[in-house]
Structure 1
């Protein structure tokens, strides 16, 4: 059974689309890491409702000039990294696809940029925001990474089927460049035509493609439900979407829910000075964010810890070290892209199952009256392991429980890590034979 699973994963990893996506994500790793550091600056330091800002009392200790400069710089770099991440992803996905089939990769990449930008424009205009810049479109953001990868791959395939073979040379004469441009005209025109059709569909149907608003109902249903058997399948869907590169639902989860049930829990805790006997003990906002996802960082941090302990792969170790600080403060995209976790078949099961296990264990602990529910809102950027502690108004039992839960996540990841090393070894052997 184990060998069959390994062989299946190997077959999936050898598919051109997975090879292209992996190479694209690895190329985008530096941008994602830089964006993660500026994200924690924006969300944790230069935000009045953030963890570090309030702990260090920056409202009193930091001058206005430094605050405005820091907020301007961090917000700007988050926008040009994560806000335009789809642009970079479409370019490199098209480029690597065309290069795989010995086609003009540079022009394929630029064509993908044109297509994804037109789709972003159509998305903004179609959502009654015609005066907004397409650069602010949700399609271009890192949370909609899957669509950009698919557009890039599709453009690369059009160049594969309609383009002419191209070999890069050290120095190109003007005549050679002109011929190269003419050779790319047909696949470029067909790609633009397909992009135009896609953009018209987006505009005419008023589709909010991969927008955070699209998933508001899903997130609200998770946070407002007090039924564990409803929360679990919805959480499974959220984690699957995150694994394929649609991060809006996971990033929108928080324990600061505005549902009637959450308000009732908070009012009860404030009135009685305790959250042990709140009316809605198994509310999704009290289970998923503090325990299932720990702010979105539980799986990321667990995998980073495993990599730093095992120390078998120097490249993975460097990626883990570079992303340790952002992951602590729930800025996970650097590691999600750099590992990569997104669309990695080896990490699919632990990525989607471990949060469900955490939620079930937390619900059982609440049912057995071992820990109180988390009903208090926590500050933005609060480290994942501390969310339950602050969400329960500083209950130390919750902190110990969160640490034990995190240790369990690390233990659960160990066999997956060993299995992944076996697959990587087999994959290297296959590539060596192919070469």
Structure 2
């Protein structure tokens, strides 16, 4: 059974679309890691409602000039990395697709940039949110990575079918570059024409592609529901979207949702000095963020711990080490991209199943009065394992439960790690035979 599963996953990994997507994510790893560290600084240090800012009392101890400079630099770098991540993803996705078929990868990459920028422009027309940029940020952000990868892949395929073969050489003469440009004219024109059709369709139909507003209803249903069955179903949808590269719903989830049920829980806890008997014990906002995702600790940090303990792959070990600090403080994109977890068929089931198991166990513990519901707001950048501790106003049983839950997540991931190693070995062997 395990061998059949390994062969199936190996076959999936060999598909051109998965090969292109994974190579694109790997090449973008440095940008994602840099963005993750600046995101950590912005969310946990240079923000008045952040964890480190309040723990170290930076409001009193940090000079204003340093704070403003840090906030400016960190916010700017997050926008330059994660805010334009779709641009980089579309470029490299088109490049790797074209290169796979020995076509002009540079021209394909630049064409993909034109297509996604026009789509971002069309998506922004008619926007009433007051966005001063001519381009829609929602399409270009890291949260909309899937769209960028698909645009790049389709453009690369157009170059595959309509472009002429291209051989990389160390130095190109002007005449050869001119011929190369003429050869790229047809596939580039067809790609841009297709992009024009997509962009005009977006504008005429007023489609908001990958807009965070599109997922507000989904997030609200997860946070406001007190129905455990509904929460589990919606959680599966949210985790699946995150796995394919649509991160808006997961990033928007928190345990400090402002809704009637959450306010009723908080008011009850403040009035009675305890959260044990709040009226909405199984509220989605009190379950998903503290236990299902743990700010990234449920899957991301657990996988990092396994990699650092096993130490079988030096490259994976280096990726885990450099992403350890950001993931601890809930900045996960560097690891999600660099590993990569996104669109990795080996990690599909654990990425979805582990959060569901966590929610079910946490619900059972709440029903049995083992742990208290998390009803108190938590500071941004609070380490994942500590979220339930602060969310329950310092209940030590909640902290112990979160630690045990995290250990269980590691145990559940261990066989997946072994399977992943077998598949990686099989891929290397096949690539060596092809060479």
The normalised TM-score by structure 2 is: 0.99
Secondary structure at the counterpart of residue 226 of structure 2:
coil
Displacement, 1:297? 3.2
Superposed, 1:219-230 pairs within 5 Å as 219-230=219-230
CA distance in structure 1 between the aligned counterparts of 2:297 and 2:45, rounded to whole angstroms: 18
1:315 paired residue number: 315
Correspondence for 2:430:
430
CA contact (8 A) 2:212 2:248 kept: yes
- 1:194 paired with 2:194, answer yes
Matches of 1:282 and 1:265, distance apart in 2: 11
Q: Report the equivalent of 1:281.
A: 281
Residue of structure 2 equivalent to 1:23: 23
Structure 2 CA distance, aligned partners of 1:121 and 1:231? 36
Structure 2 counterpart of 1:140: 140
Q: Residues 244-283 of structure 1 correspond to what in structure 2 (within 5 A)?
A: 244-283=244-283
Deviation at 1:429, TM superposition (A): 1.4
User: Displacement of 1:147 after TM fit?
Assistant: 0.2
Using the TM superposition, give the Cα deviation of residue 127 of structure 1 relative to its aligned residue in structure 2, in angstroms.
2.7
**C-alpha displacement at 1:132, in angstroms?**
2.7
Tell me by how many angstroms 1:128 deviates: 3.8
The 1-side partners of 2:203 and 2:296 are apart by 33
Contact 1:44/1:50, CA 8 A, preserved across alignment: yes
How much does 1:287 deviate?
Answer: 0.6
Post-superposition offset of 1:137: 1.5
Do structure 1's residue 68 and structure 2's residue 68 form an aligned pair?
A: yes
Distance in 2 of aligned mates of 1:126 and 1:138:
14
Say whether the 8 Å CA contact 1:145–1:245 is kept in structure 2.
yes
Which position in structure 2 is the counterpart of 1:346? 346
The CA deviation string for residues 214-242 of structure 1, in whole angstroms up to 9 with x for no partner, is 11110110010001000001000000000
Tell me the equivalent position of 1:416.
416
Separation in structure 2 between the aligned mates of residue 68 and residue 134 of structure 1, nearest angstrom? 27
Does the 8 A contact of 1:124 with 1:130 survive in 2? no
> 2:211 maps to what in 1?
211
SS in 2 for 1:302: helix
1:10-159 paired onto structure 2 within 5 Å: 10-128=10-128, 132-135=132-135, 137-159=137-159
Encode CA deviations 1:9-64: one digit per residue, 9 max, x unaligned: 11100100000000000000000000000000000000001000111111111111
Displacement after TM superposition at 1:258 (Å)? 1.2
* Alignment partner, residue 160 of structure 1: 160
Question: Within 2, Cα distance between the matches of 1:181 and 1:307?
Answer: 45
Distance 1:354 1:134 in 2: 41
When residues 155 and 391 of structure 1 are mapped into structure 2, their CA distance, relative to the original with a 3 A threshold, is same
Gaps of 5+ in 2: none
Per the TM alignment, residue 387 of structure 1 is displaced from its structure 2 partner at its CA by 0.3
Structure 2 counterpart SS, 1:360: helix
Calculate the aligned-residue CA RMSD, in Å.
Answer: 1.0
Conserved? CA contact 2:20–2:93, under 8 Å: yes
- Equivalent residue of 1:251, what SS? helix
- Separation (CA, whole Å) in 2 of partners of 1:135 and 1:26: 26
Q: Which residue of 1 aligns with 2:174?
A: 174
Q: Which secondary structure state, in structure 1, belongs to the residue aligned with residue 210 of structure 2?
A: coil
Aligned partners of 1:148, 1:341: CA distance in 2, in Å? 17
Which residue pairs with 2:406 in the alignment?
406
Q: Is the 8 A contact 1:265 1:278 kept in 2?
A: yes
Q: CA contact under 8 A between 1:242 and 1:250: conserved in structure 2?
A: yes
- Cα distance in 2 for partners of 1:314, 1:249 equals 33
Q: Report the equivalent of 1:378.
A: 378
- Contact 2:389–2:399 under 8 Å retained in 1: yes
Take 1:235 and 1:356, find their aligned partners in 2: how far apart are those partners?
A: 7
Under a length normalisation based on structure 1, what TM-score does the superposition of the two structures give? Answer: 0.99
**Counterpart check, 1:361 vs 2:345:** no
Paired residues, number: 435
Helix, strand or coil at the partner of 1:127: coil
Do the aligned partners of 1:306 and 1:410 also contact (CA within 8 Å) in 2? yes
1: distance between equivalents of 2:134 and 2:163?
29
Partner residue in 2 for 1:390: 390
